[in-house]
Structure 1
Amino acid sequence: MISIVVPTVGRPSLTVLLDALARQLAELPDAEILLVDDRRDPTGEPAVPATSSGYAKVLTGRGAGPAAARNVGWRAARQPWVVFLDDDVVPAPDWARRLRDDLTVGDRVGGVQGVVEVPLPADRRPTDWERSTAGLAEGEWITADMAYRRAALEQVGGFDERFPRAYREDAELAHRVRLAGWELVRGRRVVAHPVRPEGRWVSLLVQRGNADDALLRRRYGPNWRQELRLPPGRRPRHVAVTTAGALALTAVALRAGLPRDAASRRVLGALAATGALGWAAGTAEFARARIAPGPRTRDEVLTMLATSALIPPVAVTHWVRGWWRTRSSTTDGDVAGAQR
């Protein structure tokens, strides 16, 4: 009845997940576990522990990201329900039993989401990265733990492989499944999603997702966030701050090339001051919003100050890059033609 699909690049957390599943196999006697090795370079150490070979089948992905890897998994699945798990979640001890209960639903229910819990430190306020990860607990239809009928996946063509990151690809799939007439509901099974360690610049790296937002804007128009039921973002503010900073720098550069007695120097000076003030105010507001709920340690504050100045132009750059890259993308929902 159930196929469990786990895309992986060989992170150590996969062993924890597989151990948790192995202890619950008796609750799912007909289940199959499909692990998709999605490393770009599959040479070297195996991505999947050898101890899992007795109860899991390993498939080879194309190194094209989780959307493509999940497509490899569900297309190889033999069961009518496909449960997607991330390789860094930990199922609760009663996960399998509750999964069976969750999937006892009406014929028009095409997907059932599990409950995702993100453990946070009990002795201090969470960092910016920890709060960002904790947002998964409020997300809708995220594939950290999401079950779909195979029939629903077949009807809509699966995941859109133009989304190369673990970002928005699950929300976009859920939207197409709902448009196809299926219902999506929440279940009661629980997985924990620990916060994985990351470097201090991780908030800059995740801005690459803005390129994927550009694809959603191309496909679903200016109201794509409302249509996909996604929370509002800060991109308009990032654009304003970046524009103010660019205005200030441009005005300063032009002013430096003019004679001291040129009348336009005063105008350019005023433009530079206005742009600098707007940039400083926007950056300060952004930094305060990130620092205030955090632990406020010296390292965290310095990181927030530096990244709050850099995130707006980085985010806008990725958005523009994504907009240009997707200029010829389809807008009619034809995912099959978009698969690589």
Structure 2
Amino acid sequence: MISIVVPTLGRDSLGDLLATLAGQVGDRPALEILLVDDRSTGGGELPVPGALTAYTKVLRGHGAGPAAARNLGWRAARFPWVAFLDDDVLPASDWLDRLVADLAVPERVGGVQGVVRVPLPADRRPTDWERTTAGLADGEWITADMAYRRTALTAVGGFDERFPRAYREDAELAHRVRCAGWRLTRGTRTVTHPVRAESRWISLRTQRGNADDALLRRLYGAGWREELGVPAGRRHRHAVITTAGVLAAVALAGGLAARGSRAGRPFAGTAALAGAVWLAGTTRFAYERIAPGPRTRAEVTAMLMTSAVIPPLAVTHWVRGWWGGRHEAPCRAVRCRDGVR
């Protein structure tokens, strides 16, 4: 008795996902598929195969992001288990059978994660974006393939719609589910998550997630990464690089204004020192991104340019998120990594 919820933006990959499921449904009366069409504008009919017509219901989302779309889906679900899939994954040929087996768990298990595989090129080193996507394979409780008991979702109110991106909203939900006393575990079913074709400037767009990190810091305190099982980030390094860059620019401007006078000497020294810190930090950041990659001209150029822009952009988004969440009350539910208050 399973409801499968797939929020979608109408990507071509949705057709492959549904075609794969169509070959697995057989005669399963206790199954439904809820497609949440979250396109902000109309984009035509979704590609539902004929074999899935009897199982599938299409819901109209509000273009408010994956958290809101998933909430719309699970709240319309009829069955005790809700399995979330992203529209850009490809389930294995035995995914549905293994899902059924995965959900044969004790009553206090509130969620079961599937195995996510990210194929990388075999003939070259992966790009920065490919390595970023590959990190999904090691993520905890990611909703690329994650099933929850409907009662667990109801108990915690589902996804927090203050997180509008596909970024941290699943880890934050898992944290609250554990804090409500439920256990989370891993299953054996498998999905493949291909690396989406993206602009080489994608790393700049992803910096918007820093606003969500700032909100999490507001809600869960300084130890939020450990609490939610999120790997350490580069925020503090970005802050140092950004501060050095701003200080160098201000000192340089001051030196130019005082050019020709003794008052300009301190400005020159400050600009040189701060500029050296900025250059060293930016160079190290760029090297860390270039070294494990394919080192093609296009990749190196993109890494050099984006490595100079990312630190101030990340800090700007963090400050925006911190200010935007200034009225949010801190959560009292902490220290729940093991699912116990």
TM-score by length of 1: 0.95
Q: Closer, same or farther in 2 for the Cα pair 1:44/1:185, shift >3 Å? A: closer
Amino acid at match of 2:309: L
Q: Which residue of 2 aligns with 1:266?
A: 265
Output one character per residue of 1:143-195: Cα deviation in whole Å (capped at 9) or x when no partner.
00000000000000000000000000000000000000000000000000000
Residues 9 and 47, structure 1, Cα contact 8 Å, conserved in 2: no
Q: Which moved more, 1:54-63 or 1:168-177?
A: 54-63
Amino acid at match of 1:97: D
Q: Which residue of 1 aligns with 2:279?
A: 280
Amino acid at match of 2:307: S
Q: Which residue of 1 aligns with 2:12?
A: 12
The whole-number CA distance in structure 2 between the counterparts of 1:48 and 1:266 is 68
SS in 2 for 1:268: helix
| Structural mapping, 1:1-340, within 5 Å | 1-26=1-26, 28-41=28-41, 43-49=42-48, 51=50, 53-262=53-262, 264-332=263-331
Amino acid at match of 2:147: A
Amino acid at match of 2:316: T
Q: Closer, same or farther in 2 for the Cα pair 1:222/1:101, shift >3 Å? A: same
Aligned residues: 332
The whole-number CA distance in structure 2 between the counterparts of 1:28 and 1:293 is 46
Amino acid at match of 1:325: G
**Which 5+ residue runs of structure 1 have no aligned equivalent?**
335-340
TM-score by length of 2: 0.95
Amino acid at match of 2:302: T
Residues 84 and 145, structure 1, Cα contact 8 Å, conserved in 2: yes
SS in 2 for 1:225: helix
Output one character per residue of 1:224-274: Cα deviation in whole Å (capped at 9) or x when no partner.
101111110001000000001001000011111115123x31111111001
SS in 2 for 1:25: coil
**Which 5+ residue runs of structure 2 have no aligned equivalent?**
334-341
Residues 4 and 32, structure 2, Cα contact 8 Å, conserved in 1: yes
Amino acid at match of 1:86: D
Residues 37 and 48, structure 1, Cα contact 8 Å, conserved in 2: no
- Residue 81 of structure 1 deviates from its aligned partner by 0.3
Output one character per residue of 1:280-339: Cα deviation in whole Å (capped at 9) or x when no partner.
1001111111111101111101111111111101100100111111111232379xxxxx
Residues 27 and 96, structure 1, Cα contact 8 Å, conserved in 2: no
**Identity across aligned pairs (percent)?**
66
Q: Closer, same or farther in 2 for the Cα pair 1:242/1:27, shift >3 Å? A: farther
The whole-number CA distance in structure 2 between the counterparts of 1:189 and 1:44 is 31
The whole-number CA distance in structure 2 between the counterparts of 1:313 and 1:163 is 22
The whole-number CA distance in structure 2 between the counterparts of 1:329 and 1:58 is 34
RMSD: 1.4
Residues 108 and 183, structure 2, Cα contact 8 Å, conserved in 1: yes
The whole-number CA distance in structure 2 between the counterparts of 1:178 and 1:62 is 29
The whole-number CA distance in structure 2 between the counterparts of 1:152 and 1:170 is 14
The whole-number CA distance in structure 1 between the counterparts of 2:61 and 2:328 is 24
| Runs ≥4 residues deviating over 6 A | none
Q: Closer, same or farther in 2 for the Cα pair 1:130/1:257, shift >3 Å? A: same
SS in 2 for 1:148: strand
